[in-house]
Amino acid sequence: MTSLSTPAIVLRAINYGESDRVVTLIGRTTGRVSALARGARKSQKRFGGGLDLCSVGDAGLRERAGAELLTLERFDLHESHGSFATDIARMAHAAYVAELVSKLCAPRQVELEVYDWLLAFLGALDRHGASAERLRVFELGLLARLGFGPMLETCAICGGAQLAAGGDDEAAYRWDPDRGGAVCSACGKRGRPIRAVVRRALARLASSPVDAPAFDPLPADVNRGGRDAIFEIIKQHISGPLLSLDFIAKMGGHV
Ligand SMILES: [Zn+2]
């Protein structure tokens, strides 16, 4: 048996039996792990705030040889993001990013930059409220940190950027998630058209800090176009639906 201690964020917690919970965490030094928290619904002492979604704290874990499920022995809460419980838009965004991280990160693969990106996003979401632009920044930054970031300003096949200088030429690039993002028209006719205004907005957001107090608002159609393009990339790397998307889709203009 080995004991581990790591800063961690709760990505998922489901009740198990009479008083236990099974949690999925991203640990800063462990990567994504699942663990059984015995007595989590009763012990305030060992589990502080009760392991709510996106809570941040220090996790004390114990692993047993051959067992996939670790044991969570304690969770010392640092930050519970209290605003999430009273604002459905914040909660929807938190649930979505937690599910994204959970599904995109491989188990036990340390992803320091992903951990810090998620931590920064959650703090900003708590402070500033839900914003579609911030969500796009988070998605793009998450994909980039996992090596899945889409090409936006150069062709994913030939690397050519000369067409980007062509100004408003809507036909300069197509969107081909199979090939990693934008593909120049000289490289092929696969993929689908993507509006230049959408591609440029994504390129701008891809280099934005996730914890900015505010963002230049995107027109609704540009946000939708960007959201759809990003989601086509995400779908390349996950299996099955994102359960939180139904919830978030109901949030209308906030997504
Ligand atoms: Zn090309």
Average pLDDT over residues 172-188: 89
Non-local CB neighbours of 29 within 8 Å, separated by 6+ positions: 4, 6, 7, 110
pLDDT of residue 118: 98
The answer to whether the CB of 235 falls within 8 A of the CB of 103 is no
pLDDT of residue 173: 87
User: Cα(239) to centroid of ligand 1, in Å?
Assistant: 29
The 3-state DSSP class for residue 205 equals helix
Q: Between 167 and 115, whose confidence is greater? A: 115
Instruction: Summarize pLDDT for 132-169 with one digit per residue, the tens.
Output: 999 999 999 999 999 999 999 999 999 887 555 555 56
Non-local CB neighbours of 48 within 8 Å, separated by 6+ positions: 57, 75, 76, 77
Closest CA to 212 of 138, 144, 111, 139: 138
Give residue 187's pLDDT band: very low, low, confident or very high (50, 70, 90): confident
User: Cα(163) to centroid of ligand 1, in Å?
Assistant: 9
pLDDT of residue 254: 57
User: Cα(161) to centroid of ligand 1, in Å?
Assistant: 8
Please tell me whether the overall predicted TM-score, pTM, comes out greater than 0.85 for this model: yes
pLDDT of residue 61: 97
Closest CA to 177 of 148, 154, 203: 148
User: Cα(158) to centroid of ligand 1, in Å?
Assistant: 4
Name the percent of the chain lying above pLDDT 90.
75
Give residue 127's pLDDT band: very low, low, confident or very high (50, 70, 90): very high
What is the rounded distance in angstroms from the CA atom of residue 31 to the CA atom of residue 108? 5
Q: Which residues surround ligand 1, an ion (CB under 5 A)?
A: 155, 157-158, 160, 184, 187
What is the rounded distance in angstroms from the CA atom of residue 29 to the CA atom of residue 110? 6
Q: Measured at the alpha carbon of residue 112, what is the angle toward residues 107 and 116, in degrees to the nearest 5?
A: 115
Query: Residue 70: which H helix or E strand, with range?
Result: strand 70-79
pLDDT of residue 253: 47
Instruction: Summarize pLDDT for 20-49 with one digit per residue, the tens.
Output: 999 999 999 999 999 999 998 887 788 876
User: Cα(182) to centroid of ligand 1, in Å?
Assistant: 9
Instruction: Summarize pLDDT for 43-81 with one digit per residue, the tens.
Output: 778 887 669 999 999 999 999 888 889 999 999 999 999
User: Cα(219) to centroid of ligand 1, in Å?
Assistant: 28
Give residue 252's pLDDT band: very low, low, confident or very high (50, 70, 90): low
User: Cα(104) to centroid of ligand 1, in Å?
Assistant: 28
User: Cα(174) to centroid of ligand 1, in Å?
Assistant: 10
